[in-house]
Amino acid sequence: MGLVIVNGKRYTTPEGSSVSIIDNNVYCNGQLIIDTEKIVEKNIKIEVQGNVNELKTSSGNVNIIGNCGNVKSTSGDITIKGDINGNVATTSGDIRCSKISGNVDTVSGDIIKRNYALF
């Protein structure tokens, strides 16, 4: 099982899920898990504890503690503390990661390679 945390609220998800934020809603494998319109704090922070196949968001910082496939954000920093087995892209934001198997791209931001220890 994986864990998705949106602004401190925790949601259990199947390991290797696909997580998307579309029109202020958070979906896991196509099913709505939270409507972010109900969140008072408008700076959305997403943390995934576990492996994720795909994560897409239009805004908000993303922190993945595990391995991932594809990750895409229009606006926000992306930190991956595991292996990237796909592509990672953000239009505006930094990308912090360690092992990269795919492409990493940011239009306005830095790509920072670090070694992270997974526990």
**If you average pLDDT over residues 87-101, what whole number do you get?**
91
Residue 94 has pLDDT above 60, yes or no: yes
CA pseudo-torsion sign 93, 13, 54, 116: positive
Distance between CA 118 and CA 109 in Å, rounded?
25
**C-alpha 52 chain-centroid distance:** 8
**What are 89's strand-pairing partners?**
72, 105
Task: Say what the pLDDT of residue 116 is.
Answer: 67
Which of 9-23, 66-80, 104-118 is least confident? 9-23
Higher pLDDT among residues 67 and 26, named by residue: 67
- Is the distance from CB of 88 to CB of 95 less than 8 angstroms? yes
Per-residue pLDDT tens digits for 20-50: 777 767 888 888 887 766 655 667 788 888 8
Higher pLDDT among residues 93 and 57, named by residue: 93
**C-alpha 62 chain-centroid distance:** 4
Give the β-pairing of 104-108 and 45-49: unpaired
Distance between CA 50 and CA 67 in Å, rounded?
7
Which of 3-7, 40-44, 52-56 is least confident? 40-44
Helix, strand, coil share (%) of the chain residues, nearest 5: 5, 60, 35
Mean pLDDT of the chain: 84
